[in-house]
A and B are shown apart, each in its own frame.
Chain A
Amino acid sequence: MTSLTATLAAAVERRRAVRSGVGATRPGLAWAVPATLFFTLFAIVPLVLVAVLSFTGWNGIGSPQWTGLANWTALWHDPVMLKSLWLSALLTTLGVVVQTPISILLGVWAAGHQRNRAVLLAIYFVPLLLSATAVSVLWRALLDPNFGIPSEAGWLFGDGNLLGTQSGSIGVLAFVGAWQWTPLHTLIYQGGARAVPQVLYQAAAIDGAGTVRQFFHITLPQLRNTIITSMVLMVVGGLTTFDTVLILTQGGPGTDTTISAYYMYQQGFLSFDFGGASAIALVLVVIATLVSLVMVRLTGYDKMNSTAEGL
């Protein structure tokens, strides 16, 4: 009898310990303070400042002067700004249209486990090891009209001055972007394709479906979430492309490849109109946020718990 009460008492004691312990072992707000303060100081404050600066005139020296809506009226009537938005949209769309089919195809192919694929894939992924700067510098040298590849393949490139025309420059930017980013999206699709249950293919094979039908009726529908993820990355990446434009075209010829992100840099750090640059930056932030929000809604990303999903 006594041993039973003792056991019961011990059990109650333990449960109480657990209950009070749970509260005690949960971290307080203090754990989040350093990161939040740091992030607020170097990301949120600048974000608020960009809005403030967009109502001022500032040449980079001295203090910003309040100018009210002057920057915004100027921006509204600025034909280059409107053009830059179109160019950003065009380059982003081109990026998605070019990279999506290639990376789906390569990713699905790469999802196989054959040994020769592993070797080829190791080469495919080398562009990922280069910074955007390095990629741009490399292609700038390779596409040089006098000493680069165009000089050796006149039948393909004509006079070789690819960056001399608008269509040529846009083509180069889209190509270099695809060269740089397709490997990443291939990786994403490889992960997605490997997650497709093999049972589906076996069932389809029994029903007599060929490779092409399997691809369109199993692989593509099963990759739906992966496609959305990859497109979010392409759109956000496309809208913020900067290094490539600065190094390859400097926005030229003329303003023919001046996309919004580059136009902002140009207005601020080359023309020293930091107020005007802030207004462009704010437009960029609003567009990027809107796009992200729409995409997040589409994917249900905000409700997702594990980052392992989709990789």
Chain B
Amino acid sequence: MRHRPNYLAGFGSLIWLFLVGLPLYVMLTATLRTQSDYSTSGPLSFPTHLTLQNYLDDFSNGFGRDFLNTIVVTLSVVAIVLLVVPPLAYAIVRSRHRTMSTVFRIFLLGLAIPAQAVIVPMFYVISKAGLYDNLLGIILPTAAFCLPICTLILTGAMRDITPDLYEAMAVDGASPARVFRQLVVPLSKGGLSTIVVFAALQAWNGFLFPLVLTQSDSTRVITLGLFNFQTEHGVDVPALLSAVLLSMLPILVVYLFARRALVRGLMGVGGK
């Protein structure tokens, strides 16, 4: 509708393109060259001959195992979230029980608890439970800290189901379990895919809980692998950056094929 192009914003967006594009260019080219080539010709030059050795090095450094651990953690966190959140959201939206508003308030309060604030007691609880340095010790807290936002997203989606539909099923004499299965779950698919993506992102990118709750190589997840690699062999920039690139590949795939769901899951970061 506007007749004149927005020059200022257009100019700003070009600067931003440069700020985003340059690091991505350096990362991409660095992963395809040898360490000595990177050190001598500098990060901005174009690589003279290409190599995939860096990626192979990552795998011989245990990246494959980190990757598998992260997949296990991510799938488990998503499974837990899918198991407990939909019934909870259904109860919050439909139940007339008096304590339900208290329950909802507990989860809203949970939105304000930063994971950083509880790492010390979490370390205590997980150690006492014998789960220190165990993948389960990462999975349980990570899933718990996904719950408030996932609940908020899903109750929002479920509130959009019109009361007429519930009444129609009530006429049929359907039990809550049947209403849940045949009405609530099918009609809140959008919300469900958002919480799956959100929980998966939290688990895949999670760093703090793995950092303080695990220590051995056998339980290392990708983010911790990147951190360790950086502290131990930070000079091998090409291998480091190829690990960074590998760590984002699964998310990139989701981005390419389910952009909308991913973006909604990302926005879930703010509980909106």
Instruction: Tell me the complex Cα distance, A282–B13, Å.
Output: 41
Q: Is the CB of A39 within 8 A of B27?
A: no
Cα-based distance from A128 to B171 in the complex (angstroms)? 47
Sample (16) of A-B pairs whose CB atoms are under 8 Å apart: A17-B170, A28-B91, A35-B84, A53-B120, A110-B13, A123-B17, A128-B266, A137-B227, A141-B240, A184-B269, A233-B270, A240-B116, A243-B207, A247-B227, A281-B116, A281-B117
A-contact 0/1 string along B83-127, CB 8 Å cutoff: 111011011101111011001001111111111111111111100
Nearest CB of chain B from residue A295's CB, rounded to whole Å: 10
Enumerate chain B residues within 8 angstroms of A53, measured Cβ to Cβ: 120-121, 124
Partner pick for B20 among A22, A25, A179, A282, CB 8 A cutoff: A179
Contacts of B113 in A (CB 8 A): 43, 47, 285, 288-289
Who on chain B is nearest to A31 by CB?
Answer: B91
Is A38 engaged at the interface, CB distance under 8 Å to the other chain?
Answer: yes
Is A133's CB under 8 angstroms from B227's CB?
yes
Determine whether B223 belongs to the interface, using a CB cutoff of 8 Å to chain A: yes
Within 8 A of B (CB), among A11-48: 14, 17-18, 21-22, 24-29, 31-32, 34-36, 38-47
Q: Does A106 have its Cβ within 8 Å of any Cβ on chain B?
A: yes
Number of A residues near B (Cβ < 8 Å) is 109
Residues in B with CB closer than 8 Å to A130 are 244, 247-248
Please tell me if the beta carbons of A274 and B2 are within 8 angstroms of each other in the complex.
no
- Complex CA gap A11/B169 in Å reads 17
Q: How far apart sit A123 and B25, CA to CA, in the bound complex (Å)? A: 11
Q: Report the minimum CB–CB distance from A8 to chain B (whole Å).
A: 18
Using Cβ atoms and an 8 Å threshold, which residues of chain B touch A47? 113, 117-118, 121
Is A311 in contact with chain B by the CB < 8 A criterion?
yes
Cα(A53)–Cα(B148), bound, Å: 25
B153: min CB distance to chain A, Å: 6
Q: Are A106 and B88 in contact (CB under 8 A)?
A: no
Q: Name A190's closest neighbour in chain B (CB-CB).
A: B263
Contacts of A308 in B (CB 8 A): 156, 160
Q: B8 to A105, Cβ gap below 8 A?
A: yes
Q: A39-B110, A281-B117, A285-B117 are in contact. Are A109 and B125 (CB under 8 A)?
A: no
Chain A, Cβ-Cβ closest to B251: A129
- Known A-B contacts A21-B173, A49-B121, A142-B26; the reply to A236 vs B114 at CB < 8 A is yes
Q: Is A127 in contact with chain B by the CB < 8 A criterion?
A: yes
Report yes or no: B153 in contact with A307, Cβ–Cβ below 8 A.
Answer: yes
Contact at A281–B240, with CB atoms within 8 Å?
no
Q: In the complex the two chains form, is B100's CB within 8 Å of A205's CB? A: no
A106, B13: Cβ atoms closer than 8 Å: yes
Q: Is the CB of B43 within 8 A of A148?
A: yes
A55 within 8 A of B: no
Q: Are B20 and A126 in contact (CB under 8 A)?
A: yes
Give the residues in chain A near B229, CB-CB below 8 Å: 137
Within 8 A of B (CB), among A121-138: 123-134, 137-138
In the complex the two chains form, is B266's CB within 8 Å of A137's CB?
no
Number of interface residues of B (CB under 8 A): 116
| Cα-based distance from A35 to B151 in the complex (angstroms) | 10
Q: Which of A134, A205, A292 contacts B248 (CB 8 A)?
A: A134
- Whether B100 lies near A35 (C-beta < 8 A) is no
**Chain A interface residues (CB < 8 Å from chain B):** 14, 17-18, 21-22, 24-29, 31-32, 34-36, 38-47, 49-50, 53, 58, 60, 64, 102, 105-106, 108-110, 120, 123-134, 137-142, 144, 147-149, 151-152, 179, 182-184, 187-188, 198, 201-202, 205, 210-211, 214, 229, 232-233, 236, 239-240, 242-243, 246-247, 261, 264-265, 268-269, 274, 277-278, 281-282, 284-285, 288-289, 292-293, 302, 305-308, 310-311
Shortest distance between the CB of A298 and any CB in chain B (Å): 14
What's the Cα separation between A137 and B172 when bound, in Å? 58
Within the complex, which residue of B13, B125, B147, B223 is in contact with A49, where a contact is CB–CB below 8 Å? B125
CA A43 to CA B126, docked complex, whole Å? 12
CA distance A278 to B121 in the complex (A): 8
B32 at the binding interface (Cβ < 8 Å):
no
- Tell me, in angstroms, the Cα distance from A305 to B152 when the chains sit together: 10
Are A27 and B118 in contact, CB atoms less than 8 angstroms apart?
no
Which of A141, A210, A229, A239 counts the most B-chain CB atoms under 10 A from its CB? A141
In the bound complex, CA of A39 to CA of B8 (Å): 47
- Inter-chain CA distance A247–B87, complex, in Å, is 39
Q: Are B1 and A106 in contact (CB under 8 A)?
A: no
CB distance B23 to A142 under 8 Å?
yes
Taking the closest CB of chain B, its distance from the CB of A309, in whole angstroms, is 8
Asked whether A25 and B230 contact (CB < 8 A) given A36-B103, A43-B118, A149-B44, the answer is no
